[in-house]
Amino acid sequence: MDYKEYFAQYQDLIPDYSEFLECLKKQHRQYFCINTLKIRTHEEKERLLEILRQKNIQFEPVQEVPFFYRVVNNEEVSLGNLEEYSLGLIHSMTLASSLPVIALDPKPGDLVLDLCAAPGGKTCLIAILTQDKATVVANDKRVDRLTALVANLKRLGVASAITTRYRGEQFPFGIPFNKVLVDAPCSGEGRYRVGLEGEILYQKGHGKTNLQSIQKGLLVRAFDLLSPGGVLVYSTCTINPKENEEVVDYLLRKRQAKLVDWVSPLPYHEGVTEWEGKPYHPDLRLTKRYYTHKIDAVGFFVAKIIKLV
């Protein structure tokens, strides 16, 4: 399907729509974060950055998000091939992937569940932000994805994470978590790019008819695993309100859940409270939409929820 035909359904939703369409023709921007579990001092950080410069990696700091850097010579660089990546001194991940973790606000001593954790970027960022002093249960249902998750944890030197393999909707009850992250499987529209003939190049989750059912099941289970007063963050990398606001709306109507605001380091647009004639809970405006042409990164949706006592 031609990209203009596909995204026409969101024309009234996406701000500066023509700018968005042009952005889809560009390659995804590369970002990396410094692993402060291995790079502990200012001197070590400066030495690492100088080594990267000597390898012709041109980059600039992302002032809004600590530890993150934006690659300037994007098309000339493959971060995953660098020795510094293999050694776990840096980690490559899109800037927007930091947003759910920032919303979760993990602290040393927290008991955190990352329900759909593989390949582990957000789990690793939780460890970095807490200096490996939170306990993180990193779960995924697929063995192949868990292999990638474990490899990233080892490469970055994360010691605080425990890996488990369950279907997220059936994760067992036990000791309640005070923070849970659900970065749900989705249609991935925030990652879409287009080819020379206008074809959509990335459609990993497109066509799955049960995505919304899976997302609702994950979110309700995650909420039930929380301790009273606990924090739940739901995120996707898609645009579709049926996978975003409508899923959160379902939770608000099923459980004693409350949406809360949080300070975003990047520009966002409020969540929608109605889509295709269907009204949602008015608090859905507290959710945050990030569009790729506004943040120069993968598009994202983030909702922060607390469990009422």
Binding residues for S-adenosyl-L-methionine, as ranges, are 116-122, 140, 183
- Residues ≥6 apart with Cβ < 8 Å to 31: 62, 68, 69, 70, 71, 92, 93, 94, 95, 297
Predicted confidence (pLDDT) at residue 197 exceeds the cutoff of 80:
no
Which pLDDT score is estimated for 74?
86
Confidence band (pLDDT; 50, 70, 90) for 235?
Answer: very high
Every domain of the chain and the residues it spans = 3-28+94-307, 30-93
Q: Is the pTM of this model over 0.75?
A: yes
Binding residues, as ranges, are 116-122, 140, 183
Predicted confidence (pLDDT) at residue 205 exceeds the cutoff of 70:
no
Question: 3-28+94-307 architecture in CATH?
Answer: 3-Layer(aba) Sandwich (3.40)
Confidence band (pLDDT; 50, 70, 90) for 40?
Answer: very high
Residue among 33, 124, 186, 237 flagged as catalytic: 237
Q: Which range, of 30-39, 71-80, 94-103, 238-247, averages the lowest pLDDT?
A: 71-80
Assess whether 186 carries a catalytic annotation: no
- Across the chain, the runs of DSSP E, i.e. the strands, are 31-34, 59-61, 68-71, 90-92, 111-114, 135-139, 161-164, 177-183, 226-236, 257-259, 269-270, 274-275, 278-279, 288-290, 300-307
Average pLDDT, the chain: 94
Decide which of 3.40.1410.10, 3.30.70.1170, 3.90.850.10, 3.40.1710.10 is the CATH code for 30-93.
Answer: 3.30.70.1170
Q: How much of the chain, in percent, has pLDDT values that exceed 70?
A: 97
Which pLDDT score is estimated for 214?
96
Predicted confidence (pLDDT) at residue 207 exceeds the cutoff of 60:
no
Predicted confidence (pLDDT) at residue 106 exceeds the cutoff of 60:
yes
How many C-beta neighbours within 10 Å does residue 284 have? 23
